[in-house]
Amino acid sequence: MAKIAILGFGTVGSGVLEVCRRNAASIARRAGEPVEVKYILDIRDFSASPDAALFVKDLDVILADPEIRVVVETIGGTRFAYPYVRRCLESGRSVCTSNKEMVATYGAELLALARAHGAAFLFEASVGGGTPIITPMHQCLAANHISRIEGIVNGTTNFMLTKMKRENMEFPEALRIAQQLGYAETKDPGDDVDGRDACRKIAILGSLACGHALYPDNIPTRGIRRITVADIRAAEGLECVVKLIAWYRELPEGGVAAGVEPMLVPDTNQLAGVDDVFNAVLMRGDMLGDVIFYGKGAGKLPTASAVVADVIDALKDGARIHDSLFWQPADKPEGLLQDPDRHTWYLRAAGISAAVLTGLAGDSRLVLDGEQGPACLVRGATTAEMQALCEKIRLLGGEPALVLKRLAD
Amino acid sequence: MAKIAILGFGTVGSGVLEVCRRNAASIARRAGEPVEVKYILDIRDFSASPDAALFVKDLDVILADPEIRVVVETIGGTRFAYPYVRRCLESGRSVCTSNKEMVATYGAELLALARAHGAAFLFEASVGGGTPIITPMHQCLAANHISRIEGIVNGTTNFMLTKMKRENMEFPEALRIAQQLGYAETKDPGDDVDGRDACRKIAILGSLACGHALYPDNIPTRGIRRITVADIRAAEGLECVVKLIAWYRELPEGGVAAGVEPMLVPDTNQLAGVDDVFNAVLMRGDMLGDVIFYGKGAGKLPTASAVVADVIDALKDGARIHDSLFWQPADKPEGLLQDPDRHTWYLRAAGISAAVLTGLAGDSRLVLDGEQGPACLVRGATTAEMQALCEKIRLLGGEPALVLKRLAD
């Protein structure tokens, strides 16, 4: 009988308990022994719960119990989660987490700490919810060099963009529905709609691909607040859809670039058909070519089932088998990781005429001329060139309202 | 330094050598030590090869060398591969293979043999080529019960159906091109076009899902020889594409059903957009919902890179970590595993009129009335009912030319 503890009894934490009980028999078969939740740490009062006897308020109770071999961290954030996870790893316990903020920020340090104490630090559920991404990446693609990652990794914004497209709904209305359904936070939906959640996820995948830490602070990140239905219709005219894409790329001249930004995705791209709350991540391996992992990116039981799969893994001598799940700490670069490449861009500006816009934009063509300003397609420009163009628009009294890169085929 | 041997220096075997050399540094980092190919077993003459010194013709040379810890089997077929793999496992060596015929036929026995001798028997490359499917299935989905699998698992037929659809090319022409490109065998393309290759793959995935052996002989299997461009156009009118689908399903009343058959796949289904030589497998987990794994299904380096990932895994104490990669032997059922469910069907018949066809078919509607006979859509019928309908058509002097199930959404 393997005993585990859960830190934080929110959505995912309670899901872990539920998955462990509902699929107890098959989990026991795969882990080689039954798996039982012995403690749940939560500061709230659960004395009326049928599981009241499991709840503790002090991490020391868990750390003092030699029966506990694996700890699940589902508190979220870093304030409590990070010091708690450090203490668990230092005590030799393996930790399985769905906490992308903690992994993106302290991953290198926690992986090294786990290694130093013969424990495993596993976080499959931190990207893609229940969809397997991290394990296939570091294990099945172990004989590959991964040069490119492109993904739809935030289900909330993908749901909103799908609503906007299918139902001609503007951003505020789509956000309201996402909040009603519990997909977006009511108080501050910024983690989703401003791209911070997607940024943490690409920081994790990028770190794993290049072997050293990429920090969320260094990844240029833009969300979907400025997208309008008119932009989505203009994209359709270009045989594209608008998606929030998190990307990572190795640069031919050395180094890497990464970003989170809404993009024009050509209809022929496999990511174009990924709708609603679904996530999909494309990876390019040098031996393998492109692979895509697709599934629901969130949800209580899907995410919890990925955490429990990590628990099974950790129970089976996790520390030894995961040498490939690792990245080195790295100095934080100053400023942002910039994309040096040339792209085709969609640029919408307010307060100037279509003629002036296309005149300024050089090799371009008008694709929208509506209430929210004209928009044109600009070919073969770098990020820096687009920034200079936006500056010119401002000097002429206009306002660059939306700039979208087109994803290469 | 870890030493390995390769049995069979064909496409995949030579790819394994190439991957080991080209990505030597990252493979060493992940395996924890450099990996070197010490022997290659092949009966052909490679004395002019730059690697001539590695070649041996006698398995005993390999088995007598205590340095060899992992053996790669890429001979294919079962005549030599099966006894060789048995001997390797009996000697305590782990075996990594891409040989789907051997795994589908002898998997339960070889897995038990590996377990008995403290070795690993790994076969990620046997399904989906380089695309990770088996590892995420048994490892990341370990906390899930898998009730349904639907996949496009044969790249050759998917390439042909894509050609037929896009270029109005009939089957014989599409086959000729697939043969010219080396996708289909020139002598006997039946493994691909008659569905036997797909059948072996769904036998492997289904065995892993239900935990006991499903034998290819018991899986009803039909290929794509009877599909015409007219059928593909009629499918388009129904907002569907024609795909060769390998499927597995748990039955609510107990037991399982499986099959390989061309199907109508609705355009809204994620599998509908999987074209050319790509493969995709959808799995439904009870906790997770649907996930899809997508990538190139074959090719020298992709497949070899999956074999090498298994080698890395096997070198890291493979026998301990793969308790979840297992199925029990099972008696072969008599006859075929039949699909008991009701479906919507596409039925084309030659030699009878459209009026007679729809008259016989009951709840149906005419969707094609061309040179190759009329076709109608029949709703809510079982496989047995469709067989009875085909019998009636024959009694009236007609010939049922094509029967396609529609994949449920």
Q: Does B33 touch chain A (CB under 8 A)?
A: no
> Quick one: pLDDT at residue B82?
98
B334 against A8, higher pLDDT: A8
CA distance A202 to chain B (A): 19
Residue B219: pLDDT over 60: yes
Q: Which residues of B touch A130 (CB under 8 A)?
A: 285, 287-289, 291
pLDDT band, very low/low/confident/very high, at B103 (cuts 50, 70, 90): very high
Supply the ipTM of this predicted assembly.
Answer: 0.90
pTM of the shown model? 0.93
pLDDT band, very low/low/confident/very high, at B318 (cuts 50, 70, 90): low
In whole numbers, what is the pLDDT of chain B averaged over residues?
94
Look at the block and give the residue holding tokens 């009335």.
B369
- Range with lowest mean pLDDT among A1-10, A193-202, A296-305: A296-305
Q: Which residues 75-134 on chain B approach chain A with CB closer than 8 angstroms?
A: 124, 130-132
Among candidates A22, A292, A302 on the partner chain, residue whose Cβ is nearest the Cβ of B288: A302
In tens, the pLDDT along A352-377 reads: 999 999 999 887 899 999 888 999 99
Q: Which residues of A touch B286 (CB under 8 A)?
A: 22-23
pLDDT band, very low/low/confident/very high, at A318 (cuts 50, 70, 90): low
> Smallest Cα–Cα separation from B396: which of B358, B356, B364?
B356
Residues A74-100, mean pLDDT to the nearest whole number:
97
> Quick one: pLDDT at residue B62?
98
Q: Report the helix count and the strand count for chain B, using DSSP H and E.
A: 15, 15
Residue-wise DSSP of A236-265: HHTTEEEEEEEEEEE-TTSSEEEEEEEEEE
Residues in chain A: 409
- 3-class DSSP state of A193: helix
Residues in chain B: 409
Pairs of CB atoms within 8 A across A/B: 192
> Quick one: pLDDT at residue A320?
58
Q: Cβ contacts of residue B406 below 8 Å, gap of 6+? A: B240, B263, B264, B265, B266, B343, B344, B345, B346
> Quick one: pLDDT at residue B160?
98
* Annotated active-site residue in B100, B163, B165, B201: B201
Q: Report the helix count and the strand count for chain A, using DSSP H and E.
A: 15, 15
In tens, the pLDDT along A127-138 reads: 999 899 999 998
> Quick one: pLDDT at residue A140?
83
pLDDT band, very low/low/confident/very high, at B291 (cuts 50, 70, 90): very high
Q: Which residues of B touch A304 (CB under 8 A)?
A: 143, 287
- Range with lowest mean pLDDT among B156-170, B358-372, B374-388: B358-372
- 3-class DSSP state of A406: strand
Q: Does B150 touch chain A (CB under 8 A)?
A: no
Residue B409: pLDDT over 80: no
In tens, the pLDDT along A178-192 reads: 999 999 999 999 999
Look at the block and give the residue holding tokens 């585990």.
A4
Among candidates A124, A131, A145 on the partner chain, residue whose Cβ is nearest the Cβ of B291: A131
How many CB atoms are closer than 10 A to CB A80? 16
Angle at A348 between CA A343 and CA A353, to 5 degrees: 125
Q: Does A293 touch chain B (CB under 8 A)?
A: yes
Percent of chain B at pLDDT exceeding 90: 85
Residues A276-301, mean pLDDT to the nearest whole number:
93
How many CB atoms are closer than 10 A to CB A324? 21
Percent of chain B at pLDDT exceeding 70: 98
8 Å CB contact of A139 and B142:
no
Residue B321: pLDDT over 60: no
Q: Does B293 touch chain A (CB under 8 A)?
A: yes
pLDDT band, very low/low/confident/very high, at B408 (cuts 50, 70, 90): confident
* Annotated active-site residue in A100, A163, A165, A201: A201
In tens, the pLDDT along B26-42 reads: 899 888 899 999 999 99
CA distance B398 to chain A (A): 42
Please indicate whether residue A201 is annotated as part of the active site.
yes
